[in-house]
Structure 1
Amino acid sequence: MNELDTRAERFLASIHAEGEAACAAIRAETERTIDSQLEETRKAENTRVERTLRFETERARTRANRDLSAARMAARATLAAQRQQIADETFAKAREQLAAFAAGEKYAAWLQTEAVALAEALGENVELYARKADLPLLQGVKLPAGATLTADDTIGIGGLKGRNAAKGLAADDTLAARLDAQHEWFLQNAGLEINI
């Protein structure tokens, strides 16, 4: 019986060893499967996270660009309003100075010189227009043949307008027109550029 017991023990030990080997193989396969699935899941999640991160980053960048653009536009509008206010104030002061000049002693001589120059530029049969208050200042001025002087209530500060219908020429040499012609030059050269 001893031999039978020994054989039975060996047989059981062999079965036990095979069972342990099979269990170890199953455990190893299970761990490989789990590791493989974890790696696939990790890759899928990393891809999803990267995609989401790129999307959110781009969305944040777009939002920031939109906000920056809106802020720039608002700043430009503010600066443009300030620039216009400065220009308006400057031209209002210039208009006051021109009105003071037109009421001063040197205005009559200037007006007479300008009348002669404008009449010569427009030629014979020119029609000159001046403020009603300025017509007496132009009496006795030597103008080209056929030149006429007429009152024009649309001339505000002073100066002259002229027209030669035969030649199809017209000129606005009023002080207001001269001042208005300086707006663009002023905005370009006054150092009030808007660069944002």
Structure 2
Amino acid sequence: MNELDTRAERFLESIRAEGEAACAAIREETEREVTGRLDETRRAENARVERTLRFETERARTRANRDLSAARMAARAKLADQRQKIADETFAKAKAQLADFAASDKYAAWLQTEAAALAEALGENANLSVRSIDLPLLKDVKLPAGTTLTADDSIELGGLKGANAAKGLAADDTLAARLNAQHEWFLENAGLEINI
């Protein structure tokens, strides 16, 4: 029996060796399958993470640009308000100085010179308008033939308005008109640009 036992033992060893080889092959195949699927899952997950990262980065950039744009607009509005406040204060002071000028002794000579120049520019049969308190200042001014002087109390600070209907000419040479004409120049040349 010894030989039979030996054969049986060899047969069992052969079966065991085949089983172990099959198990090793299965383990190897399983490892390859698991590794392949893990690699595929890693690639898919990395791609998803990259897409999510790009999307979130773009969303954050868009949000930051929107916030920056809103901040710039708010800063521009604040600067525009400050610029307008400075301009308003400056023109209020200029208006007060023009009112002081209109109340000074120099105003009469200036008004007479301006009335003569405006009447000359408008020609004969023109009409000049001044504040009613300024009419006495122009009584001795030599004006072209047919030129009339009328009171116009809508003239706030002083100066003249003129018209020649026959020639279709009109002029506003009031101190308020001269001051208003300086607004654009002031904003362009006062160094109050809004650059953000």
Report the TM-score when normalising by structure 1: 0.97
**1:44-63 alignment to 2 at 5 Å?**
44-63=44-63
- CA distance in 2 between counterparts of 1:96 and 1:39 reads 84
Taking the aligned partners of 1:164 and 1:60, their CA distance within structure 2 comes to 67
Residue by residue over 1:107-127, the C-alpha shift from the partner in whole angstroms, topping out at 9 and shown as x without a partner, is 111001111111111222111
Report SS of the residue matched to 2:163.
strand
The runs of at least 4 aligned residues of structure 1 exceeding 6 Å deviation read none
- Aligned residue number for residue 34 of structure 1: 34
What letter is aligned with 1:46? N
Q: What is the identity, as a one-letter code, of the residue corresponding to 2:37?
A: Q
Per-residue Cα deviation, 1:48-95 (whole angstroms, up to 9, x for no partner):
111111111111111111111111111111111111111111000000
1:171 counterpart SS class = strand
Partner Cα separation in structure 1 for residue 9 and residue 59 of structure 2 = 72
Matches within 5 A, 1:8-87: 8-87=8-87
Unaligned runs of 5+ in 1: none
1:91 is matched with which residue?
91
- CA deviation after TM superposition for structure 1 residue 3, in Å: 2.2
Equivalent residue runs for 1:169-180 within 5 Å: 169-180=169-180
Letter paired with 1:125: N
Q: CA RMSD in A?
A: 0.9
2:89 partner letter: E
Matched AA of 1:119? A
Give me the identity figure in percent. 82
| Alignment-derived partner of residue 190 in structure 1 | 190
Distance in 2 between residues matched to 1:42 and 1:135, nearest whole Å: 96
Q: Tell me, what secondary structure is at the counterpart of 2:170?
A: strand
1:3-51 Cα offsets, whole Å, 9 max, x none, are 2222212111111111111101100111111111111111111111111
User: Is 1:2–2:2 an aligned residue pair?
Assistant: yes
**Which blocks of at least 5 consecutive residues in structure 2 are unaligned?**
none
Mean Cα deviation higher: 129-138 or 4-13? 4-13
1:106, distance to aligned residue in structure 2 (A): 0.7
Cα distance in 1 for partners of 2:16, 2:120 equals 130
What is the match of residue 150 of structure 1?
Answer: 150
Q: What letter is aligned with 1:86?
A: I
Q: State how far apart, in whole Å, the 2-side matches of 1:90 and 1:5 are.
A: 122
